[in-house]
Amino acid sequence: MVDETIRRLDSVGHALQGAPRTDTAVGSIPCAAVSSLLRAAVSSLAESPGVDAVGAASQPGALGVEVTAVHDKRWLRGVTDFLLSGLRGIESDFPEYLEVKIIHSDRRV
């Protein structure tokens, strides 16, 4: 059985890109949606006793986080499923602005 949980998450280019807005706000709908989901996921990973994780946001639109230890696989699976469901929904609504890529690794934590 493949363990399909987040081990590493990299996001590039979600800052201020995507479908243009019709109001005067800066940014875009898909950008805001992706940013919100990623912030929630990374915050959950950082604050949970279920995993140990490290990450950085080196510049606007760039985010990386790596799970270094898993203490609660079911919890991590829930975060993974929630995040992927949200990202796939955004990808379905805005396919020209978002591509979700999943890379499977043999690396075990």
User: Whole-model pTM above 0.95?
Assistant: no
Helix (H, G, I), strand (E, B) or coil at 101: coil
pLDDT digit string (tens) for the chain, length 109 residues: 456 899 998 888 755 544 455 555 556 788 888 888 988 998 999 899 999 999 888 777 788 899 999 999 999 999 999 999 999 999 999 998 888 988 887 666 5
Q: Kindly report the CA angle at 8 between 1 and 102, in degrees rounded to 5?
A: 60
Q: Residue 75: its pLDDT value, please? A: 94
Sequence-distant (≥ 6) Cβ neighbours of residue 66 within 8 angstroms: 7, 8, 9, 53, 54, 55
Sequence-distant (≥ 6) Cβ neighbours of residue 86 within 8 angstroms: 33, 37
Contact between 42 and 57 under an 8 Å Cβ cutoff? The reply is no
Q: Residue 23: its pLDDT value, please? A: 56
